[in-house]
């Protein structure tokens, strides 16, 4: 889990992938919320997703999806074509 402010959160692939490595996972789905209630992926969300895909591939883990959540909806970066 990462904690950020209303507009940003610092995400390190090593921290996101740590529990996947420790549990010998072959694939993962990551999710985070947008407190602003806007589920559209930001440029930063897309960049983080690309970094996670690359880092995960190096260690043999597949990033299956990245979900962005709000109070009453969500967006799938896979469905949007980013994965």
Instruction: Give domain status of residue 7, yes or no.
Output: no
* Distance from the Cα of residue 53 to its chain's centroid: 9
Which residue segment(s) compose the domain that 41 sits in? 13-76
Average predicted confidence (pLDDT) for the chain: 88
Give the total number of structural domains in the chain: 1
Q: Are 53 and 63 in contact (CB under 8 A)?
A: yes
List the CATH number of the domain containing 38. Answer: 3.40.140.10
Instruction: Give domain status of residue 17, yes or no.
Output: yes
pLDDT in tens, 34-73: 888 899 999 999 999 999 999 999 999 999 999 999 988 9
Tokens of 8: 């940003």
Query: If we measure between CA atoms, which residue out of 58, 64, 62 comes closest to residue 77?
Result: 64
What element of type H or E holds 33? strand 27-33
Instruction: Give domain status of residue 71, yes or no.
Output: yes
What pLDDT score was predicted for residue 5? 46
Instruction: Give domain status of residue 4, yes or no.
Output: no
Report in angstroms the alpha-carbon separations of 11 from 1, 35, 72, 73.
9, 16, 24, 22
């Amino acid at each position: 889990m990462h904690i950020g402010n209303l507009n940003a959160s610092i995400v390190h692939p090593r921290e996101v992938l740590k529990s996947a490595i420790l549990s010998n996972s072959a694939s993962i789905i990551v999710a985070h919320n947008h407190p602003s209630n806007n589920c559209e992926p930001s440029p930063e969300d897309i960049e983080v997703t690309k970094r996670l895909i690359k880092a995960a591939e190096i260690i043999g883990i597949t990033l299956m999806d990245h979900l962005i959540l709000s109070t009453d909806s969500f967006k799938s970066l896979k469905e949007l074509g980013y994965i």
